[in-house]
Chains A and B, each alone.
Chain A
Amino acid sequence: MENLFINIARTLSDWLLQLGLSHFWTDLVLLVVQWTAIILIITLNVIILVWLERKISGFIQQRLGPNRLGPFGCFQTIADTLKLLTKEDIIPSQTDKLIFKTAPMFFIIVSVLLYAVIPMGKDMVVVDLNVGLFYFISVGSLTTIAILMAGWSSNNKWSLLGAMRSVAQMISYEIPLAFSLLGVVMIAGSLNLSAIVAAQSNIWFIVLQPVAFVTYFIAATAELNRGPFDMPEAEQELTAGAYTEYTGMRWALFFLAEYTNLVAVSALAATLFFGGWQGPLLPSWMWIIIKTYLIMLVFMWMKWTFPRIRMDHLMSLSWKVLVPVSLINILVTGVGIEIFKGMGW
Chain B
Amino acid sequence: MFVESEPYIINIGPQHPSTHGGMHVEALMDGEEVVNVTIHLGYVHRSVEKIAESRTYTQFIPYAARLDYMSTNLPAWGYVEAVEKLSGLTVPERAQYIRVVMGELSRIASHMMFVGSLAIDLAATTGLLYCLRDRERIMDMLEMTSGQRLLSSYMRLGGVSHDLPEEFFPAVKSFLTDVPAMLDEYNGLITGNEILQARCNGIGVLTPETALAYGVTGPNLRASGISYDLRRADPYGIYDRFDFNIPVAQKGDCMARLMVRLEEIEQSARIIKQALEQMPEGEILGKVPKVLKPEKGREVYHRTESAKGELGYYLLADGTDKPARLHVRAPSFINLMVLPIISRGSKLQDIITNIATLDPVLGESDR
Contacts and interface: CB of A to CB of B under 8 A. Distances in A.
Do chains A and B directly touch (beta carbons under 8 Å) in the complex?
yes
A157 B10 contact: yes
Contacts of B195: 228, 306-309, 313
A36 B120 CA distance: 40
A63 B126 contact: no
Interface string B145-168: 000000000000000000000000
A61 B10 CA distance: 33
Contacts of A307: 119, 122-124, 127, 193, 195-196, 199
A158 B16 CA distance: 11
A57 B16 CA distance: 23
Contacts of A313: 195, 198-199
A212 to B, nearest CB: 22
Residue picked from B120, B125, B189, most chain A C-beta under 10 Å: B125
Interface string B211-222: 000000000000
Contacts of B193: 306-307
Contact of A310 (B119, B121, B130, B198): B198
Given A60-B126, A62-B130, A236-B120, A311 B16 contact: no
Using C-beta atoms within 8 Å of the partner chain, give the interface range for chain A: 20 to 34
Contact of A235 (B17, B133, B198, B349): B17
A265 B123 CA distance: 23
Contact of A237 (B8, B119, B120, B349): B349
B354 interface: no
A88 interface: no
Contact of B133 (A57, A62, A161, A236): A62
A308 B122 contact: yes
A310 B349 contact: yes
B123 A61 contact: no
A275 interface: no
A304 B123 contact: no
Contact of B123 (A63, A239, A308): A308
B352 interface: yes
Contact of A236 (B32, B121, B189): B121
Nearest to A57: B125
Contacts of B8: 157
A227 interface: yes
Contact of B347 (A57, A239, A306, A312): A312
A230 to B, nearest CB: 7
Contacts of A57: 125-126
Contacts of A308: 122-124, 195, 349
B129 A236 contact: no
Contacts of A309: 195, 198-199
A3 interface: no
Contact of B16 (A157, A161, A239, A312): A239
Contacts of A230: 123
A228 B347 CA distance: 17
The 10 A-B pairs of least Cβ separation, nearest first, read A307-B122, A308-B123, A307-B124, A61-B129, A236-B18, A307-B196, A307-B195, A61-B126, A310-B349, A309-B195
27 contacts: A60-B126, A61-B126, A62-B130, A157-B8, A157-B10, A161-B32, A227-B123, A228-B123, A228-B195, A236-B17, A236-B123, A236-B352, A237-B349, A239-B16, A304-B125, A306-B124, A307-B119, A307-B122, A307-B123, A307-B195, A308-B123, A309-B199, A310-B198, A310-B347, A310-B349, A311-B349, A313-B198
Given A236-B120, A306-B123, 19 more contacts: A57-B125, A161-B348, A228-B195, A235-B17, A236-B17, A236-B123, A237-B18, A237-B349, A304-B125, A305-B124, A305-B126, A305-B189, A307-B195, A308-B122, A308-B123, A308-B124, A308-B349, A309-B198, A313-B198
Interface of B: 8, 10, 16-18, 32, 119-127, 129-130, 133, 189, 193, 195-196, 198-199, 347-350, 352
Interface of A: 57, 60-63, 157-158, 161, 227-228, 230, 234-237, 239, 304-313
